A and B are shown apart, each in its own frame.
Chain A
Amino acid sequence: MSSVVDPPEQMRFDLQVIASWVEPGSRVLDLGCANGDLLAYLKQEKQVQGTGIDFSEAKVARCIERGLTVLQGDFRQEVSDYPVNRFDTVILSQTLQQIRDPKELLVDLLRIGKRVIVSFPNFAHWSCRLQILWFGTAPVTDQLPYEWYNTPNIRVISIRDFKRFLHTIGVRIVKEVAINTHHHDFKGNSVRYFKNIRATYGIMMVEQV
Chain B
Amino acid sequence: MTAPVLSIKGLTKAYPGVVANSDVSFEVMEGEVHALLGENGAGKSTLVKMIYGLVKPDHGSMTFQGKAYAPAEPRAARAAGVAMVFQHFSLFDALNVAENIALGMEHPPRLADLAGRIREVSETYGLPLDPFRTVGDLSAGERQRVEIIRCLLQDPRLLIMDEPTSVLTPQEVEILFQTLRKLTAEGVAILYISHKLEEIRTLCDTATILRLGKKVATCTPADTTARALAEMMVGTVLHTPERSGRALGDVALELSGLSIRSPSAFGCSLKQISLAVRQGEVLGLGGVAGNGQDELLGALSGELRSGPDMVRMHGKAIGMLGPMERRRIGLLCAPEERLGHAAAPDMSLTENAMLTGSLREGLERRGFLDWGRARGFAEAIIARFDVRTPGPGNAARSLSGGNLQKFVIGREVMQRPEVLVVNQPTWGVDASAAAAIRQALLDLAAGGTAVVVISQDLDELMEIADRFGALNEGRLSRIRPTSELNIEEIGLMMGGAHDMEVAHV
Q: Is this pair of chains taken from one and the same complex? A: no
